Amino acid sequence: MAELRKLRVGIVGCGKIADGHAEVVKYLAGADLAAVCDREPLLAEQLAVRMGVPSWYGDMGEMLARERLDVVHITTPPAVHLPLTRQCVDAGAHVFLEKPLALTAPEARELIDVVVTGGRQMTINYWPNFDPPAMQFKQMLANGELGDPVHVEAFIGYDLAGPYGQVLMSDPNYWVHKLPGKLFHNMIDHVFNRIVPFFPDLEPEIHAFAFKRREGVRNNATDAMLDELRVYLRGGTVSAYGSLCSHARPVANTLKVYGTKATIEVDYNNRTVVNTTSQRYPSALGRLAPPLQMAGRYLAEGKKNIGQFRRSEFHFFAGMSKLLELFYEGIRTGGAPPIPYSEIMRVCEVMDRVIQQVYPGTMSEVAR
């Protein structure tokens, strides 16, 4: 195989998620993690030391001027994604952005326009959609195993007592509390980027409602945050439910698609993809066989996961590795980015409409 042209990569924003980016890039063929940057230089230095990165900066302009980077990973809060993207594109760099892409859909459109006008590429870190089970699911769709989609259910859990949740709940000034949609704004990309591809290219009907299930005991901004979201969508002949849930256990991350030929469920946490088809056995046998069939399918998924583990393909950010491989290859060849810009924009537009319904007025405040 011909050796890949190495891309010089930088990271701006050295919070917790940046460690995941750095870990993936460090071991990705054809990538050289050259520098990291944060407006708090100590954070940049600490990340550089942990990951063996040769250079760190407290100013992105200085990093871009000195390092001549091909790609910059922007892992900052979304309020500064647009100006940072513009700065990177002006320096000739492509951009890989953490979600959410921007505070509003119009701002997201402006960001994409900046990239396209500048002759660069961008994509967003929808990495679970490139995990092995998600890629297997896409192949099943391509093979026609589902038939035509009828209904989609996307569910993502969030643990308020987990490492990210503890930061969110302990600091009323944390940047997530300043988003128009707060917790939902930061997480529901992972719901709608799975639903949108099944909808025809028209504006779906959306009904969203949200509530706070936990008791308010802190008497600060954290009390104002809603923690349970349910959304119904309909576009053409396809309907969908989207849920973000902070209290159900175990914390789940699933996609279930009902089709005219079969129903397929993807479990992103357990890394399984299970296809349920119509029974052809008569009466009682038709009720006895399904549990045994499902047990066999889950056993096959377990064996598949063991094989991936043995091949070192079972790591947490396997999806990010695949997404970056595709993104970097598109940069080298001039091919299309792995996630169409039109799909990214449709997700942003759905998010805007949901946030407008559950946090009335917050989107208009951002627009002003």
Tens digit of pLDDT per residue, the chain (368 long)?
456 789 999 999 999 999 999 999 999 999 999 999 999 999 999 999 999 999 999 999 999 999 999 999 999 999 999 999 999 999 999 999 999 999 999 999 999 999 999 999 999 999 999 999 999 999 999 999 999 999 999 999 999 999 889 889 989 999 999 999 999 999 999 999 999 999 988 899 999 999 999 986 667 778 889 999 999 999 999 999 999 999 999 999 999 999 999 999 999 999 999 998 766 766 666 677 778 888 899 999 999 999 988 888 788 899 999 999 999 999 999 999 999 999 999 999 999 999 999 999 887 666 55
| Residue 341: per-residue pLDDT | 98
For the chain, how far is it from start to end, CA to CA, in angstroms? 53
What pLDDT, on a 0 to 100 scale, did the predictor assign at position 1?
Answer: 43
Q: What is the pLDDT of residue 164?
A: 86
d(CA 224, CA 328): 41
* Residues forming CATH 3.30.360.10 domain(s) in the chain: 129-310
Per DSSP, which regions of the chain are E strands?
Answer: 7-12, 31-37, 55-57, 71-74, 94-97, 122-124, 149-157, 205-211, 228-235, 238-245, 253-259, 262-267, 272-277
Task: Tell me the fold of 129-310.
Answer: Dihydrodipicolinate Reductase; domain 2 (3.30.360)
Q: In the prediction, which pLDDT does 284 show?
A: 67
pTM of the model: 0.93
Query: CATH homologous superfamily of domain 7-126+318-339?
Result: NAD(P)-binding Rossmann-like Domain (3.40.50.720)
Q: CA separation (Å) from 72 to 41, 133, 285, 337?
A: 17, 28, 58, 15
